[in-house]
Amino acid sequence: MDMHYGSGVLDEALERLHTSGPERLGRLTNHAPMVVEALASRGQSGAVHRWLDLYETKLEEFPASVAPVTEADWRTALGDPRRAADWIAYFSRELADQPWGHLLAVWWSRLLPGIYGGSTHPVIRVGHTVRTLIEGGESPPRLTELAHGLGYWAARHRPVSPIAKLPGTADAGQALAAVPPIGDPRGGFPDRLARVDRLPAWAAEVTDPDEAQRKLAELVRAATHRYATHGHGEETMLVHAATAPNAVLRTLPALPRTLWVPSLHAAWTASAAVTAMYVTQAPIPYTTPFRITADEVLERALAHGDEHVIKLTDTAMDVNDEQAFAAALRAVELTAPVHWSGPVTRRGSVPA
């Protein structure tokens, strides 16, 4: 078991959060479960509850149930955001009767076509949970968190219309650079997503699971690097071009190898679609003005406090190179900070 998960703080935080719904104001995602997992996994458990104290005003009560979801009629409830509580209850019941890995494998293939729903936040939430289960082991709050993540995904499940395939490239970075912007960049995520109709066919020829894993890691690295120079196009939404495929990458070890190739293809389409929706044709060169370590990047992100900055930094630490750290620092610069009530220490914990 990873020592970072052993203190019990993550489980306490998850229990605290499971009385809240997956969204607020009918459309905005509750990011707290993802952030507290990121902090705990990076050895920053001391900051978890203080960060939650700041985020608490963004939490809403758990939604009301409509009707139970069953194995016989789940298709009629798929993609219905009013059924979030019903879906969470369904997965909670299922997890009480079978291993989490088996349930994940069955539902991953069912949910993958709707990876775009909820602005890709549901798959990101699942990816954080799976990392905890793999590296930290099982506990009741962690299994409940998986039920919440899968339930949110099922409720917000949203496929896309067929997308025309443009000529691709061998390099993920070049493929992202070749993504054409949507014709009308107005509206929110669902409106823009409906206008994504053509994307480069990157990695379409991949059929080997191991190659799919390597390509997915390449995509995460390229999308993270790209944020450093293109994040100003939309500092919040473009984070998901990196964090969504990274959630898929983190989940691969818990999935049957037969699902790795379709996972790559779905992750690419999601990352490229986000790029198309918020692309800017005027990159701004950006590099770190000084050499910086992963711990120092995390320190700056935690001092900043924004949920998307912390999650992008978490992904940048997975990539673990200078340009990825530059992307995290760029997010710090572009995004309005959350103000802590006290100073952040060198290790990122916030003193009482």
Tens-place pLDDT, residues 67-126: 999 999 999 999 999 999 999 999 999 999 999 999 999 999 999 999 999 999 999 999
3-class SS at 279? coil
Mean pLDDT, residues 312-323 taken together = 97
Please say if the pLDDT value at position 35 is more than 50.
yes
- Residue 324: C-alpha distances to residues 50, 287, 293, 335 (Å): 27, 10, 11, 17
DSSP β-bridge partners for residue 28: 24
Please say if the pLDDT value at position 342 is more than 50.
no
- Span 221-269, pLDDT tens digits: 999 999 999 999 999 999 999 999 999 999 999 999 999 999 999 999 9
pTM: 0.94
- Span 144-166, pLDDT tens digits: 999 999 999 999 999 999 999 99
| Contact between residue 155 and residue 80 where contact means Cβ atoms under 8 Å apart | yes
What is the pLDDT, as a whole number, of residue 53?
95
> Angle between the 240-251 and 121-136 helix axes, to the nearest 10 degrees?
40
Dihedral, CA of residue 217, residue 91, residue 140 and residue 57, to nearest 10: 80
> Angle between the 48-55 and 32-41 helix axes, to the nearest 10 degrees?
160
DSSP β-bridge partners for residue 166: 200
Domain ranges of the chain: 3-156, 190-340
Q: What percent of the chain has pLDDT over 90?
A: 88
**What is the residue whose two structure tokens read 């929110």?**
188
- Span 180-200, pLDDT tens digits: 999 888 999 999 999 999 999
Cβ-based neighbours of 95, under 8 Å, separated by 6 or more: 103, 143, 144, 146, 147
**What is the residue whose two structure tokens read 């729903």?**
117
Q: What's at 342, amino acid-wise?
A: G
Mean pLDDT, residues 30-50 taken together = 96
pLDDT confidence tier of residue 5, bands split at 50, 70 and 90 = low
| Contact between residue 100 and residue 120 where contact means Cβ atoms under 8 Å apart | no
Q: Compute φ and ψ for 314, nearest 5 degrees.
A: -60, -45
pLDDT confidence tier of residue 340, bands split at 50, 70 and 90 = low
What the block records as the tokens of 90 is 């369904």
Cβ-based neighbours of 175, under 8 Å, separated by 6 or more: 168, 169, 200, 202, 222, 268, 272
pLDDT confidence tier of residue 26, bands split at 50, 70 and 90 = confident
Please say if the pLDDT value at position 352 is more than 80.
no
Cα–Cα distance for residue pair 271/282, rounded to 1 Å: 19
State which H helix or E strand residue 28 sits in. Answer: strand 28-29
End-to-end CA distance of the chain: 28
What is the pLDDT, as a whole number, of residue 6?
59
What is the pLDDT, as a whole number, of residue 348?
35
Number of neighbours of residue 162 by Cβ within 10 angstroms: 7
